[in-house]
Protein backbone atom coordinates (compact mmCIF):
# COMPACT_ATOMS: atom_id res chain seq x y z
CA UNK A 1 0.00 0.00 0.00
CA UNK A 2 1.18 3.50 -0.84
CA UNK A 3 1.19 5.95 2.06
CA UNK A 4 1.25 9.72 2.11
CA UNK A 5 3.62 11.30 4.61
CA UNK A 6 3.39 14.52 6.55
CA UNK A 7 5.10 16.16 9.49
CA UNK A 8 3.02 17.97 12.11
CA UNK A 9 1.98 17.84 15.74
CA UNK A 10 -0.44 15.04 16.56
CA UNK A 11 -2.95 14.87 19.39
CA UNK A 12 -1.57 12.25 21.79
CA UNK A 13 -5.09 11.16 22.75
CA UNK A 14 -5.34 9.80 19.19
CA UNK A 15 -2.15 7.73 19.54
CA UNK A 16 -2.51 4.15 20.75
CA UNK A 17 -0.59 3.74 23.99
CA UNK A 18 2.56 1.76 23.07
CA UNK A 19 2.64 -1.80 24.33
CA UNK A 20 5.74 -1.56 26.53
CA UNK A 21 6.72 -3.22 29.78
CA UNK A 22 5.39 -0.89 32.50
CA UNK A 23 8.76 -1.08 34.28
CA UNK A 24 10.98 -0.49 31.25
CA UNK A 25 14.31 1.09 32.14
CA UNK A 26 16.19 1.28 28.80
CA UNK A 27 15.31 1.50 25.13
CA UNK A 28 16.96 -0.77 22.59
CA UNK A 29 19.24 2.21 21.84
CA UNK A 30 20.33 2.25 25.50
CA UNK A 31 18.50 5.45 26.41
CA UNK A 32 17.36 5.34 30.01
CA UNK A 33 13.83 6.04 31.17
CA UNK A 34 15.23 9.10 32.99
CA UNK A 35 16.73 10.38 29.69
CA UNK A 36 13.44 9.93 27.83
CA UNK A 37 11.46 11.62 30.61
CA UNK A 38 13.97 14.51 30.71
CA UNK A 39 13.56 15.01 26.94
CA UNK A 40 9.78 14.92 27.37
CA UNK A 41 9.93 17.62 30.06
CA UNK A 42 12.22 19.64 27.78
CA UNK A 43 9.70 19.22 24.94
CA UNK A 44 7.02 20.61 27.25
CA UNK A 45 9.31 23.55 28.11
CA UNK A 46 10.01 24.18 24.40
CA UNK A 47 6.29 24.25 23.66
CA UNK A 48 5.79 26.53 26.67
CA UNK A 49 8.42 29.01 25.48
CA UNK A 50 6.81 29.00 22.04
CA UNK A 51 3.50 30.16 23.52
CA UNK A 52 4.74 32.41 26.31
CA UNK A 53 7.69 34.05 24.58
CA UNK A 54 6.81 33.54 20.92
CA UNK A 55 9.91 31.43 20.28
CA UNK A 56 10.03 29.53 17.02
CA UNK A 57 12.24 27.26 14.98
CA UNK A 58 15.03 29.81 14.46
CA UNK A 59 15.15 30.72 18.16
CA UNK A 60 15.72 27.13 19.21
CA UNK A 61 18.22 26.59 16.39
CA UNK A 62 20.26 29.44 17.88
CA UNK A 63 20.03 27.90 21.35
CA UNK A 64 21.95 24.86 20.10
CA UNK A 65 25.00 27.12 19.84
CA UNK A 66 24.47 28.82 23.21
CA UNK A 67 27.17 28.79 25.88
CA UNK A 68 24.57 28.02 28.55
CA UNK A 69 24.11 24.25 29.06
CA UNK A 70 20.36 24.53 29.72
CA UNK A 71 19.85 26.53 26.52
CA UNK A 72 21.95 24.07 24.52
CA UNK A 73 19.92 21.17 25.90
CA UNK A 74 16.64 22.81 24.83
CA UNK A 75 18.08 23.56 21.39
CA UNK A 76 19.26 19.98 20.94
CA UNK A 77 15.96 18.52 22.14
CA UNK A 78 14.05 20.87 19.81
CA UNK A 79 16.21 19.70 16.90
CA UNK A 80 15.59 16.05 17.74
CA UNK A 81 11.80 16.51 17.85
CA UNK A 82 11.24 19.18 15.19
CA UNK A 83 14.34 18.99 12.95
CA UNK A 84 12.90 16.78 10.18
CA UNK A 85 15.79 17.70 7.88
CA UNK A 86 16.43 14.24 6.46
CA UNK A 87 19.54 13.93 8.61
CA UNK A 88 20.44 10.41 9.65
CA UNK A 89 21.18 11.70 13.14
CA UNK A 90 17.57 12.68 13.78
CA UNK A 91 15.26 10.04 15.18
CA UNK A 92 11.81 11.52 14.60
CA UNK A 93 8.79 10.02 16.26
CA UNK A 94 6.97 8.19 13.48
CA UNK A 95 3.34 7.15 13.56
CA UNK A 96 0.90 5.68 11.07
CA UNK A 97 -2.89 5.93 10.91
CA UNK A 98 -4.62 2.54 11.06
CA UNK A 99 -8.09 3.93 10.31
CA UNK A 100 -9.05 4.46 13.97
CA UNK A 101 -5.95 5.78 15.73
CA UNK A 102 -2.25 6.49 15.32
CA UNK A 103 0.19 3.70 16.07
CA UNK A 104 3.80 4.54 16.97
CA UNK A 105 6.29 2.70 14.82
CA UNK A 106 9.39 4.64 15.91
CA UNK A 107 9.81 6.51 19.18
CA UNK A 108 7.44 4.34 21.23
CA UNK A 109 9.22 5.16 24.49
CA UNK A 110 8.99 8.91 23.77
CA UNK A 111 5.28 8.58 22.99
CA UNK A 112 4.73 6.57 26.18
CA UNK A 113 6.65 9.13 28.23
CA UNK A 114 4.70 12.05 26.73
CA UNK A 115 1.39 10.32 27.41
CA UNK A 116 2.40 9.31 30.94
CA UNK A 117 3.64 12.82 31.78
CA UNK A 118 0.47 14.39 30.41
CA UNK A 119 1.52 16.17 27.22
CA UNK A 120 -1.34 16.74 24.80
CA UNK A 121 0.60 16.64 21.53
CA UNK A 122 3.96 16.06 20.00
CA UNK A 123 5.56 16.41 16.58
CA UNK A 124 5.68 13.29 14.45
CA UNK A 125 6.22 12.08 10.94
CA UNK A 126 2.78 10.79 10.00
CA UNK A 127 1.92 8.14 7.42
CA UNK A 128 -1.63 7.56 6.28
CA UNK A 129 -3.43 6.21 3.23
CA UNK A 130 -3.73 9.02 0.65
CA UNK A 131 -7.52 9.23 1.03
CA UNK A 132 -7.11 9.78 4.80
CA UNK A 133 -4.13 12.16 4.95
CA UNK A 134 -6.18 15.33 4.40
CA UNK A 135 -8.29 14.48 7.46
CA UNK A 136 -5.16 13.65 9.49
CA UNK A 137 -3.68 17.05 8.64
CA UNK A 138 -6.98 18.77 9.36
CA UNK A 139 -6.95 17.30 12.87
CA UNK A 140 -3.22 17.96 13.33
CA UNK A 141 -1.47 21.11 14.48
CA UNK A 142 0.94 23.50 12.82
CA UNK A 143 3.61 25.06 15.00
CA UNK A 144 6.16 27.82 14.63
CA UNK A 145 8.52 25.29 16.20
CA UNK A 146 8.47 23.37 12.91
CA UNK A 147 10.95 24.03 10.12
CA UNK A 148 9.53 26.76 7.85
CA UNK A 149 9.28 24.38 4.88
CA UNK A 150 7.37 21.78 6.96
CA UNK A 151 5.04 24.45 8.25
CA UNK A 152 4.46 25.80 4.73
CA UNK A 153 3.68 22.30 3.45
CA UNK A 154 1.21 21.74 6.29
CA UNK A 155 -0.45 25.12 5.80
CA UNK A 156 -0.75 24.59 2.02
CA UNK A 157 -2.71 21.42 2.76
CA UNK A 158 -5.04 23.41 5.02
CA UNK A 159 -5.76 26.00 2.35
CA UNK A 160 -6.56 23.27 -0.17
CA UNK A 161 -8.96 21.62 2.27
CA UNK A 162 -12.37 23.29 1.78
CA UNK A 163 -13.77 22.14 5.11
CA UNK A 164 -10.87 23.66 7.06
CA UNK A 165 -11.41 27.35 7.76
CA UNK A 166 -8.19 28.09 9.63
CA UNK A 167 -4.91 26.44 10.53
CA UNK A 168 -4.83 25.08 14.05
CA UNK A 169 -1.67 26.20 15.69
CA UNK A 170 -0.07 25.65 19.08
CA UNK A 171 0.25 29.39 19.50
CA UNK A 172 -3.54 29.51 19.90
CA UNK A 173 -3.17 28.01 23.37
CA UNK A 174 -3.56 30.13 26.47
CA UNK A 175 -2.66 29.37 30.07
CA UNK A 176 -5.55 28.48 32.39
CA UNK A 177 -3.69 28.77 35.65
CA UNK A 178 -1.45 31.50 37.02
CA UNK A 179 2.21 31.17 36.20
CA UNK A 180 3.68 29.30 33.31
CA UNK A 181 1.49 27.75 30.63
CA UNK A 182 2.32 24.53 28.88
CA UNK A 183 0.99 23.84 25.39
CA UNK A 184 2.40 20.33 25.63
CA UNK A 185 -0.47 19.83 27.99
CA UNK A 186 0.82 19.21 31.49
CA UNK A 187 -2.54 18.70 33.20
CA UNK A 188 -4.18 21.76 34.72
CA UNK A 189 -1.88 24.28 33.12
CA UNK A 190 -3.14 24.99 29.61
CA UNK A 191 -6.27 24.50 27.57
CA UNK A 192 -7.50 25.54 24.13
Q: What is the pLDDT of residue 152?
A: 84
Residue 179 exposure: Cα atoms within 13 Å on the Cβ side: 5
Tell whether pTM > 0.85: no
Angle (CA) 124-47-149 rounded to 5° is 50
Q: What is the pLDDT of residue 103?
A: 98
The rounded Cα 141 to chain-centroid distance in angstroms is 9
Angle (CA) 120-122-123 rounded to 5° is 155
Q: Mean pLDDT in runs of 10 for the chain (192 residues)?
A: 90 95 92 96 96 94 95 95 69 93 96 96 94 91 89 74 43 35 41 31
Q: What is the pLDDT of residue 160?
A: 53
Amino acid sequence: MDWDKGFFEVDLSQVKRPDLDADWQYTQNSHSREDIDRWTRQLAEIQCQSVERGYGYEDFSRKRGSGAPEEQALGKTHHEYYGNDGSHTINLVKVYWNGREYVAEHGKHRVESAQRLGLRRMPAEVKAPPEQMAQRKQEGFSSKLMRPEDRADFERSQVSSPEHSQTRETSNLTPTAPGRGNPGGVPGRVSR
